[in-house]
Every structure is written in structure tokens, then in C-alpha cells.
Amino acid sequence: MARTKKTVAPAAEVKAAPVEVKKEAATKAVAAPKTEAAPKAEVKPVAKKPAAKKTETKAAAKKPAAKKPAAKKAAAKKAPKPITVEDIAAKLAKKLDAKKAAAIDRKCAVDIKLYGTFEAHMYIEVKDGKLTVAPYDYIEKDIEAAIAVENALAIIDGKLTIADALADGRLYAFGDIAVAAKLAALFA
């Protein structure tokens, strides 16, 4: 029973307090019509809230719009153009020394199979002192070679030598060793 009395007493106190507050609010409401400043003050906070929401909406609308072009630029920088066999053949043609090719007195050809990110054939040919590099399969070859695209690019860029690639097993070559030595000399 003691618990019941304690529970009832605080509830009565709580109920009494709002009644008193209501009386004070009623007296203030009566005083408010006499002064004109009080009603205007009550209206302004209501008007400010929607205005604040509009500025938040404008600011929120501007932020995503600014981020989208930056995200597209970043995505464009991250996605490089995929390399093709034509690109590798063009790089290799620039890398090889055409003056050394003019010194070779016989026809030499190597068919290179590229594998890895893509599979393709390309060839290097020296015929009558003229150097040719093309992205096609070559039937009349003296040497057959197989190399991963990444390793071929490393050789072209000078980060890997042909001798190291052969020793490590990154480059496989089959055929005439004398022709292979002549073609390897074209790499400057």
C-alpha cells in the first residue's frame, strides 16, 4: 500500500503543475493583445523555419551537383584505355633500331604470341635490310616466341631484358638460335 500512495502523490503534483502553467499562459495571452509586438514575435519563428529549410535544400542540391563532375573526372583518370596488339606493335617498331636491321643480310622473322589480358599474334621481320613490325600471325617464321602482354611491355619500356626474360621463363622461344641473336641485337 505504501507504494500506491507514493505513486499517487507524484502524479498529483505533476498534474497540478501544468494547471498552474496554463493559468500563467492565460494571463500572458490576455496581456498579449494589448501589446502588438508579442503576436509578431510568435509569427516570425514560424516563418523562419520554412526559410531555413529552403536554404538547406538549396545547399544540399548544390553539393551533389558539384560532386558528380569531379567523380566523372576521377573515373576518367582511373580507367586507362585498354592496350591492344596494334599499340604494342607500334611501340615495338619505335623501340627497334632500323640501322642495325639494315646490317642483317638475310631474311629473319619471329612470330610472337601475346597472352594474358588478351591473346594475339604479332611479328618482327627483317627482309632486304628493311624492318617490319605488324600485329599479325606470321607463317614463314624462323622463331616462335610466347610472352605475356605485361612482360612484352616491360621489354619495350626497357624494364626487362630479353636475356632475363628467357632465364626467368617469362619468354619462351623456339627456333634458330643464330636468327634469335640477330633479332635480339635490334633492341637498343
Q: Indicate if 73 and 94 belong to the same structural domain.
A: no
Q: What is the mean pLDDT of each run of 10 residues along the chain (188 residues)?
A: 50 47 48 50 51 52 55 64 91 90 90 95 92 91 95 94 93 91 84
pLDDT of residue 187: 82
DSSP secondary structure letters along 23-55: HHHHHHHHHGGG-SHHHHHHHHHHHHHHHHHHH
Q: Give the Cα separation of 89 and 104 in Å (integer).
A: 21
The pTM of the full predicted model, rounded to 2 decimals, is 0.57
Q: Indicate if 111 and 26 belong to the same structural domain.
A: no
Q: Indicate if 131 and 175 belong to the same structural domain.
A: yes
Phi and psi torsions of 137, nearest 5°: -75, 140
**What is the domain extent for residue 91?**
85-184
pLDDT of residue 91: 93
**Final residue belonging to a domain, choices 78, 104, 128:** 78
**Final residue belonging to a domain, choices 78, 111, 126:** 78
**Final residue belonging to a domain, choices 18, 50, 78:** 78
Q: Give the Cα separation of 105 and 128 in Å (integer).
A: 7
Count the domains in the chain.
2
pLDDT of residue 142: 94
